[in-house]
Amino acid sequence: MKYAVPRGTKDILPDDTPLWQFIEDTCRETFGLFNYREIRTPIFEATDVFTRSIGYTTDIVKKEMYTFPDRKGRSLTLRPEATASVVRAGLENNLITPDNLLKVYYLGPMFRYERPQAGRQRQFHQAGVEAFGSADPALDAEMIQLSVKLFERLGLKELEVDINSVGCKKCQPAYREALKKYFESNLANLCGDCRQRFELNPLRILDCKEAHCRKYIEQAPAMVDHLDAECKAHFSQVVGWLDHLLVKYKINDRLVRGLDYYTRTAFEIVSKQLGAQNAVCGGGRYDDLVEEMGGKSVPAIGFAAGLERVVEILKAESRQSKIENRIGLFIATIGDEARQVGFHLLTKAREKGISADIDFQGKSLKAQMKAADRLGARYVYIIGDDELKNKSAVLKNMGTAEQKEVSFGELLSVFVK
């Protein structure tokens, strides 16, 4: 084989696209129920859009971005996530202002140079929502409820919602100090990455996935014990609203997110149906990001779901067999003249909205019947010389094998009832 798909990327082939379409449709529908509207931003942005917002000390900015100069030497980056792009677009188009409540969603590919493994690719797909213009804890709870509803509607089971508060600019510094003090004595036992994180941003250590680091992380001081009064009140109201909405959750005081812009509420949904990469969605509040990116002070919250991981779960449950790729009608023909008539009927069928096809490989009748079966055609219409004379042919129901004579003129009425 001369060419291969780039490492960490995958083709999504026609057998799988119906499952992807089901997932995308369910995302759009569910986001719509909560009054989110779609936004589409470019797949690449000026590199600065990401470096500043996501944070210089994060894994994403340090080692995972696809950054390249364009032909005029401008630094561009394939989006590793969409929040920064949405903020950029919202500000540029004046949609994000302190008095406007903006609810938007997106779907699409993201790019991170990560080590490919199950549930982790270099091009992967996310569906996410962002809400700007409110710090109301009810909005946090509504968004968590939305993410749970989404996965329920997709058919995922055994989900767990983890929530935490990561505080704000005012209370985080003291917590960072407390973490530094704690990790200082264990520094030699942490991985190389964590030793760097210790210098740059000790909060990042809590996100380390190395088993031997996790041992020390378990004992580390918790952010909840360092929240200031406002953050504490906000978190307890989020929890109160979740109780009110009957959303089940677990408070996980180790939870931090992989991006620097998060403040206060952070949440993740993990699925017990997945292996090591078990998070199907992550999100949280980012009350300072809009201002950091040049806007006014506008509080905001969002989450992103990883669609490959949803696909993995649904495939394991063989849900995709229910979503079949079928066509309505296959027209099998014998001889040139029959094929011409067949094409005419094919055109009419398509005009009526019936998905239909015909042979293009000079196949025998038997082989055409086989091809129709493989396509999952519901009906096959078989035209030969006699049929041309009588302007009538056999229509075979491929499900029941039942056959009946139907005239050319009546053919489409069988479908349109």
Cβ-based nearer residue to ligand ATP, 114 or 357: 114
Could you tell me the smallest distance in angstroms from the CB atom of residue 202 to ligand ATP? 17
The nearest distance, CB 249 to ligand ATP, in angstroms, is 16
Q: Is the dihedral of CA 232, 238, 241, 245 positive or negative?
A: negative
Rounded to whole angstroms, the Cα distance separating 26 from 49 reads 30
Written as one letter, the residue type at 306 is G
Partner that binds at residue 121, options Mg ion, ligand ATP, none, CB closer than 5 to 8 Å by kind: ligand ATP
Q: Does 57 bind ligand ATP (CB under 6 A)?
A: no
Choose among ligand ATP, Mg ion, none what residue 88 binds, the Cβ cut-off being 5 to 8 Å by kind.
none
**β-strand pairing of 379-383 with 329-333:** parallel
Do the annotations mark residue 339 as ligand-binding?
no
Answer with the entry of ligand ATP, Mg ion, none that 162 interacts with (C-beta below 5 to 8 A by kind).
none
DSSP bridge partners of 45: 77
To ligand ATP, the closest distance from the beta carbon of 316 in angstroms equals 16
Is 282 near ligand ATP (CB under 6 A)? Answer: yes
**Cα dist from 11 to 4, 65, 383, whole Å:** 10, 21, 38
Instruction: Closer to ligand ATP by CB, 280 or 298: give it.
Output: 280
Amino acid symbol at 282: G
Q: Would the annotation count 114 as a binding residue?
A: no
Q: Is 62 in the site for ligand ATP (CB under 6 A)?
A: no
Q: In this chain, which residue has its C-beta nearest to Mg ion?
A: 258
302 near ligand ATP, judged by CB under 6 A: no
Q: Is 67 in the site for ligand ATP (CB under 6 A)?
A: no
If one asks whether residue 309 binds ligand ATP (CB under 6 A), the answer comes out as yes
Residue located via tokens 């058919």 = 155
Is 261 labelled a binding residue?
A: yes
For residues 95 to 134, the per-residue mask of contacts with ligand ATP, x marking binding by CB under 6 A and - elsewhere, is -----------------x-x----xxx--x-x--------
Q: Which residue is nearest to ligand ATP (CB)?
A: 306
Interface residues with ligand ATP (CB under 6 A)? 81, 112, 114, 119-121, 124, 126, 257-258, 277, 279-282, 304, 306, 308-309
